[in-house]
């Protein structure tokens, strides 16, 4: 029986499908086309990456497969493995390949390095292994988006983060920061990782990531292409918890957007649904007033002008006691940097010096 070309192709494809349930792609090629070239060890390794068949991959490597072998589109076994990692995948196969790969900066079909792919998929253990092996932590992707590994770890949307496990991406960010990743690299859209995290609307753990970025040196006054700072972005999204962290970290809440609107004006457009933002800003204003003055009477005058009652003259209170509203409490363990910041380089004013023991504080001024 003679088969036409389409018929022959159909027969081969059918035969391949029947074999696929029992053997890998490389074995299918060998059986159908009777190819026994030793170079197919590379294909064995490449095939094993798709199914995370680590024993098959290890056997191919032991027989001489090249871990840097590239497919026609430029992907290596490591890049292929990283592309298809999910929250349910194990990192064993990738961790087996990392010490063997010679070119850690190779980019495949997507224009991403192995480190950038590992960060995008949210695998902090692979990220750490690659960096310690010598991968360039701040290398910029060649996909036209200009992102580093830290940018990629911050880009997941709500659906993807929920599907893949949001905490994994938070741990990926903190791992990169501990390895000295630059937190101020802007992508092609003008966003830094801090800007991206400030505008996310997912999970209370975001506050820990934002705080970690700030402590690592992220610029809280950087502006994106829309002219928004991280604080303005957080307020637009109604992220009151993030706004509180940014204010604690010295963000200028008097900054305006391109339309000249302040943070409070932007918040008021939401109908006042986020009173904690307004409370945090008022608390910060009062704290700045205390820090800027060393005279209790002046502080009392400041509080009186805002409608607050001044402490009684007879109260047994330390001159520098500063009651803090409960709503202005800081997240536990969070470092604060108190100051009125009109630029990222403004220094904190000196703390007020308490009055010497034995002297009574001056009476309030009488109007």
Task: Tell me the CATH number at 264.
Answer: 1.25.40.20
Q: Same structural domain for residues 138 and 223?
A: no
- Give per-residue burial for 130-154: e unless 16+ CB within 10 Å, then b: bbeeebebebbbeeeeebbbbbbbb
Asked if residue 356 is part of any domain, the answer here is no
Q: Which candidate, 325, 327, 309, 321, places its Cα nearest to that of 355?
A: 321
Q: Which of 240, 259, 289 is the last residue of a domain?
A: 289
Q: How confident is the model at residue 187, as a pLDDT?
A: 92
Asked if residue 72 is part of any domain, the answer here is no
> Along the chain (367 residues), what's the average pLDDT of each consecutive run of 10 residues?
45 47 50 49 86 89 92 91 82 95 94 96 96 98 94 72 65 95 94 90 75 96 93 89 91 91 83 59 58 40 39 39 39 41 39 39 43
Tell me, what DSSP letter sits at residue 328? G
Domain containing residue 201: 190-289
Domain count, the chain: 3
Asked if residue 118 is part of any domain, the answer here is yes
Asked if residue 79 is part of any domain, the answer here is no
Please measure the distance between the N-terminal and C-terminal CA atoms of the chain and give it in whole angstroms.
Answer: 114
Q: How confident is the model at residue 228, as a pLDDT?
A: 94
Q: Which of 159, 182, 205 is the last residue of a domain?
A: 182
Q: Same structural domain for residues 195 and 285?
A: yes
Asked if residue 93 is part of any domain, the answer here is yes
User: Helices 54-62 and 40-50 sit at what angle, rounded to 10 degrees?
Assistant: 160
Asked if residue 77 is part of any domain, the answer here is no
What does the block give as tokens for 302?
A: 């400041």
Q: Same structural domain for residues 199 and 267?
A: yes
């Amino acid at each position: 029986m003679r088969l036409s070309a389409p018929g022959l192709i159909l027969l081969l494809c059918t035969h391949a499908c029947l074999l696929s349930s029992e053997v890998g792609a490389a074995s299918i090629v060998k059986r159908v086309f009777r190819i026994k070239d030793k170079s197919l060890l590379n294909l064995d390794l490449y095939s094993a990456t798709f199914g995370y068949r680590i024993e098959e991959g290890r056997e191919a490597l032991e027989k001489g497969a090249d871990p840097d072998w590239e497919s026609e589109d430029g992907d290596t076994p490591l890049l292929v493995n990283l592309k298809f990692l999910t929250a349910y995948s194990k990192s064993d196969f990738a961790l087996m390949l990392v010490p063997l790969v010679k070119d850690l900066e190779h980019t495949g079909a997507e224009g991403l390095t192995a480190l950038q792919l590992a960060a995008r998929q949210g695998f902090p253990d692979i990220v750490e292994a690659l960096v310690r092996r010598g991968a360039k932590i701040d290398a910029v992707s060649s996909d036209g988006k200009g992102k580093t590994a830290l940018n990629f770890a911050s880009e997941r949307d709500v659906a993807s983060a929920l599907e893949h496990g949001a905490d994994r991406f938070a741990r990926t960010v903190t791992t990169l920061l501990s390895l000295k990743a630059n937190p101020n690299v802007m992508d092609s859209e003008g966003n830094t990782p801090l800007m991206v995290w400030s505008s996310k609307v997912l999970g209370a753990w975001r506050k820990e990531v934002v705080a970690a970025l700030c402590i690592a040196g992220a610029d809280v006054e950087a502006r994106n292409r829309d002219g928004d700072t991280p604080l303005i972005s957080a307020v637009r999204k109604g992220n009151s918890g993030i706004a509180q962290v940014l204010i604690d970290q010295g963000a200028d809440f008097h900054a305006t957007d391109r339309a000249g609107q302040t943070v409070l004006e932007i918040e008021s457009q939401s109908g006042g649904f986020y009173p904690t933002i307004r409370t945090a800003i008022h608390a910060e204003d009062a704290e700045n007033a205390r820090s800027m003055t060393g005279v209790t009477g002046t502080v009392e005058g400041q509080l009186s002008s805002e409608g607050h009652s001044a402490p009684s003259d007879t109260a047994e209170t330390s001159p520098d006691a500063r009651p803090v509203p409960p709503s202005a409490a800081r997240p536990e363990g969070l470092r604060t940097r108190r100051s009125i910041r009109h630029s990222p380089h403004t220094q904190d004013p000196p703390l007020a010096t308490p009055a010497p023991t034995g002297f009574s504080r001056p009476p309030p001024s009488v109007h």
